[in-house]
């Protein structure tokens, strides 16, 4: 019996969710199509009814992961400064570092994304640009350009800190990287809000 469009769309969504999680956990190169399809409860033959290649799957799975990351940041920012700071602190926590099944695709797949195709890098880039806009809202600065620069620094520090904390084999140093970064970014984000930030939040 031929599947309905709704069923096909749901199946495709499930494949993307499994692929996104598998790529974050094992890496793009190590994760094979057969493993991903098995995780979705499907055969390898079914893969080509939804995707033309693994490269297409990678690009769309990356976009899916970035969408989840952006939605989480958007929800936190929408809850006010305290909610935003809690989101930042949670990102720079040991629990987030140790959760290799979830979390940020830029942390989990960063080195592989550098060598990915144009479509995949565009998905990662668009997500990062959206995160800059979100973080800039709660960044103390007198103008939008400065706020965006600070947001880029904040995001780069967050991503870099979690990445390094996962790499380091010294548990104390790994924790220290997270703690120092969290403390400094929190201090930066709790400076008095500029007139620009206040008007952006209240408008």
In a domain, 4, yes or no: no
What was the pLDDT predicted at 149? Answer: 95
Q: What does the alpha-carbon distance between residue 93 and residue 145 come to, in Å, rounded to a whole number? A: 29
Domain count, the chain: 1
What was the pLDDT predicted at 38? Answer: 97
What was the pLDDT predicted at 190? Answer: 66
- CA distances, 100 to each of 6, 16, 75, 186 (Å): 31, 17, 22, 24
- CA distances, 57 to each of 18, 22, 63 (Å): 11, 12, 10
Residue showing tokens 């006010």: 80
Q: Are 97 and 174 in contact (CB under 8 A)?
A: yes
What was the pLDDT predicted at 139? Answer: 85
> Is residue 195 scored above 70 in pLDDT?
no
In a domain, 195, yes or no: yes
Q: pLDDT tens-digit profile of 41-80? A: 999 999 999 999 999 999 999 999 999 999 999 999 999 8
Angle made by CA atoms 165, 166, 167, in degrees to the nearest 5: 90
In a domain, 160, yes or no: yes
In a domain, 6, yes or no: no
In a domain, 88, yes or no: yes
**Mean per-residue pLDDT for 170-194?**
86
Q: pLDDT tens-digit profile of 109-162? A: 998 999 999 999 999 999 999 999 999 988 888 899 999 999 999 999 999 999
83-86, Cβ contacts within 8 angstroms, sequence gap of 24 or more: 84/138, 84/189, 85/186, 85/189, 85/190
Picking from 89, 101, 113, the residue whose alpha carbon sits closest to that of residue 161 is 89
3-class SS string, the chain: CCCCHHHHHHHHHHHHHHHHHHHHHHCCCCCCHHHHHHHCCCCHHHHHHCCCCHHHHHHHHHHHHHHHHHHHHHHHHHCCHHHHHHHHHHHCCHHHHHCCCCCCHHHHHHHHHCCCCHHHHHHHHHHHHHHHHHHHHCCCCCCHHHHHHHHHHHHHHHHHHHHHHHHCCCHHHHHHHHHHHHHHHHHHHCCCCCHHHHHHHHC
In a domain, 39, yes or no: no
Q: What is the CATH number of the domain that holds 170?
A: 1.10.357.10
In a domain, 72, yes or no: yes
In a domain, 41, yes or no: no
Q: What does the alpha-carbon distance between residue 68 and residue 84 come to, in Å, rounded to a whole number? A: 16
Q: Name the pTM for this structure.
A: 0.85
* Residue % of the chain over a pLDDT of 90: 79
Q: What is the domain range of residue 141?
A: 54-202
């Amino acid at each position: 019996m031929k599947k309905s469009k709704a069923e096909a769309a749901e199946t495709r969504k499930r494949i993307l969710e499994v692929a996104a999680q598998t790529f974050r956990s094992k890496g793009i190169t190590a994760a094979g199509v057969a493993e991903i399809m098995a995780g979705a409860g499907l055969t390898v033959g079914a893969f080509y009814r939804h995707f033309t290649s693994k490269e297409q799957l990678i690009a769309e799975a990356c976009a899916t992961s970035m969408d989840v990351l952006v939605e989480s940041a958007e929800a936190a920012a929408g809850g006010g400064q305290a909610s935003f700071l809690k989101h930042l602190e949670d990102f720079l926590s040991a629990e987030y570092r140790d959760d290799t099944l979830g979390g940020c695709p830029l942390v989990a797949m960063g080195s592989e994304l550098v060598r990915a195709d144009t479509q995949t890098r565009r998905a990662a880039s668009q997500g990062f640009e959206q995160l800059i806009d979100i973080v800039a809202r709660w960044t103390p600065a007198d103008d939008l350009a400065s706020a965006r620069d600070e947001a880029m620094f904040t995001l780069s520090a967050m991503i870099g800190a979690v990445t390094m904390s996962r790499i380091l084999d010294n548990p104390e140093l790994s924790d220290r990287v997270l703690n120092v970064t969290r403390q400094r970014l929190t201090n930066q984000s709790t400076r008095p809000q500029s007139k620009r930030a206040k008007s952006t939040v209240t408008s």
